[in-house]
Amino acid sequence: MNKKRELSSRKLLGIAGMGWMFDAMDVGMLSFIIAALKVEWELTPGQMGWIGSINSIGMAVGALVFGLMADRIGRKYVFIITLLLFSIGSGASAFTTTLTAFLVLRFFIGAGLGGELPVASTLVSESVSAEKRGRIVVLLESFWAGGWLVAAVISYFIIPRFGWQVALLISAVPALYALYLRMDLPDSPRFTAVKNKEKISAVQSMKKLWSKEYARPTAMLWIVWFCVVFSYYGMFLWLPSVMVMKGFSLIKSFEYVLIMTLAQLPGYFTAAWFIEKFGRKFVLVVYLIGTAASAYLFGAAESTAMLMTAGVLLSFFNLGAWGGLYAYTPEQYPTIIRGTGTGMAASFGRIGGVLGPLLVGYLVTGKVSISTIFMIFCISVLIGAFAVFFLGKETKNKELV
């Protein structure tokens, strides 16, 4: 029975992870596409910032709407709907010729992405045993690094030679295969067990998040999600462009970001090991502090060696922290409001994802130094670490109810 369950967990991880990887491919390529569109469409820094921000607006709406839906129609069906929305939007955006059309489609792509990620972590959390749950969810998040690596490779070899449109089509086609695999996926056993026993409205679900029992974890999650998403999208969507601003060619910036991205994998794998050994709070606090220090060093770097070292450390710590956050968030709530709680925390965080890229665009326009911009992100991440340390409760080996 245990062996059968283990095989089932591996299958679930593979199918969910594949969708996660294609999502990451899209987000990863977006940073390179923004840099390419700057040249092709002669975009201003402010317009470049809006591309990343409209994506995050869509993610905020998607996380909220699909998180609520997941508690009503099930995790599996929302999982399918979100990937379908992302695939169609990504393929269609390859045929746009104006910034306005591109932004509209980025909103729908973002909604699919924003809905899928918290629902996927909720589904996986509810489908594996307590002693493996944290590790499995972090490993699910590690598929994000795989997607970024593929994105970096495609962006390096495809975008300069064949254009950003071909890159977008490449990302959309395999996602349809992941959609096919997902059809036979069983729904969460926790959701199946409670769906006919207790039902509450969407409004009641949202109110329950701020009841006396759940107000503290909700406040903690909203703060850390906002700080992490604000800094992540502010920094990583601008990485290729920042490299160009520091004097590297667009092609050379692709190479350096690819090397930095490789550091995400050991970040995830060490986090996956530490999360069951030392707990969720340990991983989040330590990796967030590491992210903050790396952001400071990256902004202040003046040599190629320092820039690469700081970039590698930034990728290592930041993505390890993301893995811990996705494992920690669904564990704060009972099954009846888990999708809502996870989705709303992610949705609030996406507001930070809107502000981060916009802030960088306007600060760059205002001739603010890169070191000052990255100091802002350093402080943001530290605030998130303090929120987890002072407000968070350890959930290692906690049985979900």
Predicted local confidence at residue 146, as pLDDT: 85
- Contact yes or no for 136/124 (Cβ under 8 A): yes
Q: What is the pLDDT of residues 232-287, one digit of tens each?
A: 988 877 776 777 777 666 556 667 767 777 888 899 999 999 999 999 999 999 99
H/E stretch holding 394: none
Of residues 143 and 11, the one with the higher pLDDT is: 143
Instruction: Please say if the pLDDT value at position 7 is more than 50.
Output: no
Listed residue (265, 240, 262) closest to 253, CA to CA? 240
Instruction: Please say if the pLDDT value at position 5 is more than 80.
Output: no
Predicted local confidence at residue 29, as pLDDT: 85
Predicted local confidence at residue 272, as pLDDT: 93
pTM, entire model: 0.87
CA–CA separation, 155 and 149 (whole Å): 10
Q: Which range in 8-17, 36-45, 379-388, 392-401 is most confidently predicted, on average pLDDT?
A: 379-388
- Complete domains list, the chain, with CATH: 2-183+208-391 (1.20.1250.20)
Average pLDDT (57-85) is 91
Q: What is the pLDDT of residues 313-349, one digit of tens each?
A: 999 999 999 999 999 999 999 999 999 999 999 999 9
- Contact yes or no for 314/294 (Cβ under 8 A): yes
Instruction: Please say if the pLDDT value at position 154 is more than 90.
Output: no
Of the CA atoms within 13 Å of residue 354, those in its CB half-sphere come to: 15
